Amino acid sequence: MDSDGVRTATTDLWWQRPFRMFQTNIREIDAGLDVARVLDQIEDYGADAWLLSVGGIISNYPTRLPHQSPNPVLTERASGDLLGDALAAAHARGVRVLARMDFSKVARPIAEAHPEWCYLAPDGSRQVYNGLTSVCPSGVYYQEKVVEVLGEILGSYEPDGFFFNWMSYNEVDYAKRYRGVCQCLSCRAAFGPELGGTLPTGPDSPGYARWQRLTSAALETLLGRIREFIAARRPEAPLVMGNTADIVFHEANNAIGRPLWPHRTSEHVSAARSYHPQVPVLVNCVAFLDMPYRLVSEEPRLFEQYLLQAVARGAIPSTYIMGTPDEFDYECLPAGSRVVRFHRDHQDVYTGLVPAARTALVRPDPLKPTASDPVHTEAEFRGAWTALLERHIPFDALPENRLAELGRSRALDRYALLVLPDLGVLEETVARELDAYVQRGGSLLVTGSTGLDAERAQLESVGVAERLVTMDTPEMTWSSAVVREDSSAVLPMLGAFHVVRARAGAEARMSVLSRAPYGPPEKCYGHLPLDHPARLDFAHGAGRTIALPWTPGRAYRDVGLGGLGAVLADSARELLGDRLEIDTDLPAQVEVVVGRSDAGLVIHLRNLTGLRHQSFGDPVTISAGHQITLRGNDISAARTLVAGAEPSSESGDGRITIELPEIGLFEVLVLS
């Protein structure tokens, strides 16, 4: 493994090439399943890897370990061994089998014999659900016994990989009740010294944010150890889990009562792939509505969007069902299969697919010590995401907590523009690396509180010299921003406005109007121009920056005025100039995702016209004849994968313009 923990084996590892997974999250009563029948269904779906429940809560193989619980239904099998049967049959067909492990809970007899392994709530209670007791990652069960289980499996079988479910410090139980921060002796020993001897009990306790960071680091350390254990015994078997795993895992799912963020899967995949392009990301797409409603199929159009977002951003598509395919009739599976089969049929295009956008939208780190209001920061990020997407500025998501590392390695230099949405105080190393990035020729678009530490401005590359005061405007405020000095259009300034002093040489290009009474109408006057800049343009070294010391993304997300999105997108376009990859006349509802693979430049066009309040419906077909123009002289051929055609094109002035076919759910353009 290299210094970043990325596996660097000289052998050709199967999971570093595109594959497609299907998870049968079987119940205890399903252990007698027909292996051949399930494999037929998996292959017909388009998948070539099977994620099967193997051990932890229930062992679907004949375990000899006293801290495991053998599945009594294994007696229905002639061999008494589901894992062995599945591996033999799958490998005969060339299908991989990955072992799903869930060590989060143990049966009651094990918990009674080892209470020190268990989660302990602040009120002294345990987490018990359906006869199972939650264990704590700090305890001996996770720290030592997990390796014994893996050793037993690897000593008798040749699984093609491992996945760990629900490996976390469980503050919430299966009933979705908040239970609090674990207070077990192992946690007290692990985290107490760092927290002044007292553990927090919940989000409102002092030290909770620090506890979150400590437990996150502890899980990454534990996963790193487990990964090394697996790699030493079976190098070809990856661990699918967190950031220190061989394959990064994301679950695309729905939840009753959770507002839909339609780009959640794209966000998670992009953030992981932009940080480590060579590390695979697997997206497990849930075929049912929510865990309590696991008999109910997900809306087919939403389900296919999970998979489409995954493949467009270069992830491995995976489908997750309860039981076996014969047990539950999920109506979304045919829609999902169409996307999975497309990925299978165009494996050459997806081999080596990595992000290739010239713009990065920085994803806020909610665990950083100086994080501002996470709800407002998330709204600014999502508003900026929407503004860039609708105006066809291709971008990747970039994790805030990786900026310093990517700056030191000069990996940031592959981006022409970084958008930093209301990030608040930056780590000093991050501020220095961002300044150096601009000095070398990069551009920054910063909004809200980004780089403001009390009165001090952290970024020398930005036209803000200092913050004088912050006005966090209430919802019905009458403070407004004029869009440009040459425009009379007025936009609402919703959220925070930071009154700042400009650096020498900074150019102010937007002004602010003062507040005035909003009633009665006879008194609704007095909106006077103020000498407070709402946009500052600044040159630093070979680069340029634009600062918007208010929150247009949050305002755009809240009220949807197109002018607010235009403030962000137009600023981005100005900074990009001729470094913007594409121009197109496609509707705003078509997302453009730019990547590069062994096949060439790969552009996914995702039709979002079916988006509705909490799901997706049928998309409106985009008529043929729209165009996309790309800069560059190195394109010799173009093909559209869904339409299966070579579109007409015109070249000149260092550009190529391609006429697009009709677009249904999506289209993929490959330029070589």
Q: Is 431 exposed, middle or buried (0-12, 13-18, 19+ CB in 10 A)?
A: buried
Q: Is residue 326 part of a domain?
A: yes
Q: What is the mean pLDDT of residues 629-646?
A: 88
**Segment holding 334, helix H or strand E:** helix 333-345
Distance between terminal CA atoms of the chain? 33
Q: Is residue 8 part of a domain?
A: no
Say how far apart CA 35 and CA 32 lie, in whole Å. Answer: 9
Q: Are residue 336 and residue 272 in the same domain, yes or no?
A: yes
Specify the pLDDT at position 255: 92
Specify the pLDDT at position 3: 46
Least-confidence region, from 8-22, 61-75, 84-98: 8-22
pLDDT beyond 70 at 261: yes
The CATH number of whichever domain residue 643 belongs to comes to: 2.60.40.1180
Q: Which of these three, 207, 238, 269, is where a domain ends?
A: 238
Q: Which of these three, 187, 203, 238, is where a domain ends?
A: 238
Q: Are residue 134 and residue 172 in the same domain, yes or no?
A: yes
From the list 647, 640, 49, the residue with the least C-alpha distance to 344 is 49
Say how far apart CA 7 and CA 227 lie, in whole Å. Answer: 10
Q: Are residue 404 and residue 336 in the same domain, yes or no?
A: no
Beta bridge partners of 285: 252, 319
Q: Are residue 40 and residue 188 in the same domain, yes or no?
A: no
Q: Are residue 523 and residue 567 in the same domain, yes or no?
A: yes
Specify the pLDDT at position 471: 84
Query: Which pair of tokens denotes residue 487?
Result: 């425009």
Q: What is the mean pLDDT of residues 613-639?
A: 91
Q: β-strands 507-513, 529-540: how paired?
A: antiparallel
pLDDT beyond 50 at 509: yes
For the stretch 293-327, pLDDT in tens is 999 999 999 999 999 999 999 999 999 999 999 99
Helices (H), 260-299: 264-275
Q: What value does the CA radius of gyration of the chain take, rounded to a whole number of Å? A: 27
For 339-370, give the DSSP string.
Answer: HHHHHHHTHHHHTT-EE--SEEEEEP-TTSTT
Q: Is residue 157 part of a domain?
A: no
Q: Is residue 10 part of a domain?
A: no
Say how far apart CA 612 and CA 534 lie, in whole Å. Answer: 33
Beta bridge partners of 658: 628, 649
Specify the pLDDT at position 424: 94
Q: Are residue 234 and residue 251 in the same domain, yes or no?
A: no
Q: Are residue 188 and residue 260 in the same domain, yes or no?
A: no
Please give the share of the chain, as a percent, with pLDDT higher than 70. Answer: 95
Confirm if 435 and 459 have CB atoms less than 8 A apart: yes
Higher confidence at residue 531 or residue 331? Answer: 331
Beta bridge partners of 482: 490
For the stretch 659-668, pLDDT in tens is 999 999 999 9
Query: Which pair of tokens denotes residue 276?
Result: 């480590």
Looking at the structure of the chain, the number of domains it has is 4
Q: Is 657 exposed, middle or buried (0-12, 13-18, 19+ CB in 10 A)?
A: middle
What is the strand order of the sheet 655-659 is part of?
582-584, 627-631, 655-659, 649-652
For 11-28, give the DSSP string.
Answer: S--GGGS---EEEEE--G
Q: What is the mean pLDDT of residues 129-134?
A: 93
* Reported confidence tier of residue 483, pLDDT bands at 50, 70, 90: low
Q: Are residue 127 and residue 204 in the same domain, yes or no?
A: yes
Q: Are residue 548 and residue 607 in the same domain, yes or no?
A: no
Q: Are residue 420 and residue 328 in the same domain, yes or no?
A: no
Cis ω before 520 (30° cut-off from 0)? yes
For the stretch 27-86, pLDDT in tens is 999 999 999 999 999 999 999 999 999 999 999 999 999 999 999 999 999 999 999 999
pLDDT beyond 60 at 531: yes
Q: Which residue has the tokens 């492990």?
A: 101
pLDDT beyond 90 at 491: no
User: Which structural domain range is residue 565 located in?
Assistant: 358-579
Half-sphere exposure of 488 (CA within 13 A, CB side): 0
Query: Which pair of tokens denotes residue 424?
Result: 């608040």
Q: Is residue 302 part of a domain?
A: yes
Specify the pLDDT at position 9: 43
From the list 336, 345, 346, the residue with the least C-alpha distance to 309 is 336
φ/ψ (deg, to 5) at 652: 165, 150
Q: Which of these three, 315, 345, 375, is where a domain ends?
A: 345
For the stretch 421-463, pLDDT in tens is 999 999 999 999 999 999 999 999 999 999 999 999 999 999 9
* Reported confidence tier of residue 527, pLDDT bands at 50, 70, 90: confident
Helix and strand totals (H; E) in the chain: 16, 33
Beta bridge partners of 207: none
Q: Is residue 146 part of a domain?
A: no
The CATH number of whichever domain residue 373 belongs to comes to: 3.40.50.880
Q: Is residue 154 part of a domain?
A: no
Specify the pLDDT at position 10: 41
Query: Which pair of tokens denotes residue 162?
Result: 């491992």
Write down the mean pLDDT value for the chain. 93
Specify the pLDDT at position 631: 85
Say how far apart CA 242 and CA 237 lie, in whole Å. Answer: 16
* Reported confidence tier of residue 479, pLDDT bands at 50, 70, 90: low
For the stretch 181-193, pLDDT in tens is 999 999 999 999 9
The CATH number of whichever domain residue 327 belongs to comes to: 3.20.20
Helices (H), 94-135: 108-113
For the stretch 267-294, pLDDT in tens is 999 999 999 999 999 999 999 999 889 9
Q: Are residue 377 and residue 273 in the same domain, yes or no?
A: no
Beta bridge partners of 508: 536
Q: Is residue 521 part of a domain?
A: yes
Confirm if 452 and 464 have CB atoms less than 8 A apart: yes
Q: Are residue 109 and residue 82 in the same domain, yes or no?
A: no
Q: β-strands 359-363, 417-421: how paired?
A: parallel
Angle at 262 between CA 261 and CA 268, to 5 degrees: 80
From the list 19, 51, 57, 39, the residue with the least C-alpha distance to 320 is 51
**Segment holding 97, helix H or strand E:** strand 96-102
pLDDT beyond 60 at 8: no
